[in-house]
Amino acid sequence: MQTTIKSPAVFQGVGLHSGKRTRMVIRPASAEHGIWFKRSDIRLGDALIPARWDAVEQTPLCTLLVNDRGVSVSTVEHVMAALAGCGVHNALIEIDGPEVPILDGSAAAFVRGILARGVARLDAPVRAIEVLKPVEVRRGEGANEAWARLEPGKSLTIDFSIEFEDAAIGEQRKVLNMANGSFVRELCDSRTFCRQADVDAMHAQGLALGGTLENAVVVDGEKVLSPGGLRHADEAVRHKMLDALGDLALAGAPIIGGYFGHRAGHALTNELLRKMFATPGAFRMIRCDAETAARLPGAGVHAGEIPTIAKAVA
């Protein structure tokens, strides 16, 4: 059955890139509504923005959604990952500014808020996107090549690898089946990360104005500069998987298949979705039976599965 959040969940904080403070409310929605954002600070015109792959505008640092009237909301990937990872199919997200609050740099606070309110079942079947044949996109070449691929599979799996010069990150790879709450247990508390040199460069360009050592993991060579260090030895690749789930959630329905990413980012994952939808025979929409629905991300998840570290930093 489709689901929604039982009662509104409220979040407040600054945007990572804008530095502006916003208030965001995830509200219940009816069956077949899907996920939509509403800019409550927009008084005239269309303030509704679909959380959908074809509303994404390419940006290098986050996922930005823009409606037909040019109204936008950015950095949606963490809350989208939380909704997908908690198995929420329908919600209206009201926000009074241009960027989703970064909070601690992970999706843990969103997960806590959603699961604290509870997830309600709706009288409508869940539909999913079944990948039928491989689809792949690539950018760059040689050591700088990045790629992302979708392949057929029985459930959503994510296989991600990264390579960074800084020894604090280095080369990392992780593979997870996203069924039955593994997002909440394994990924939701992993924070966004960056190199100190990149932070300095972004600040010089007037970017990442809301970034601090409290809402991102900042590394410099072998050093982790953020207080408390890492939550996981492989926190960086876990966060990339978190981002990938959030960006894949913009497909508009759960994906059944394998996602493989190497040095992939928001733009490449969105390009992959666009290619899948444009490729004849690459996918089909299915109505999930009970067995299939039980393998979707978030099926049967509960608040007790949130990692202890995420609770400790609440």
How many residues in total does the chain contain? 314
Contacts of 273 (CB under 8 A, 6+ apart): 53, 247, 248, 250, 251
How many CA atoms within 13 Å lie on the side-chain side of 261? 30
Residue from 17, 78, 89, 266 carrying the catalytic annotation: 266
Indicate the pairing of strand 91-95 with strand 35-39.
parallel
Name beta bridge partners: 139: 146
Tokens of 262: 């190497």
Q: Is 262 in the active site?
A: no
10 three-class SS: strand
Quote the CA–CA distance of 190 and 186 in Å, as a whole number.
8
Quote the CA–CA distance of 216 and 198 in Å, as a whole number.
12
| Catalytic residue numbers, as ranges | 266
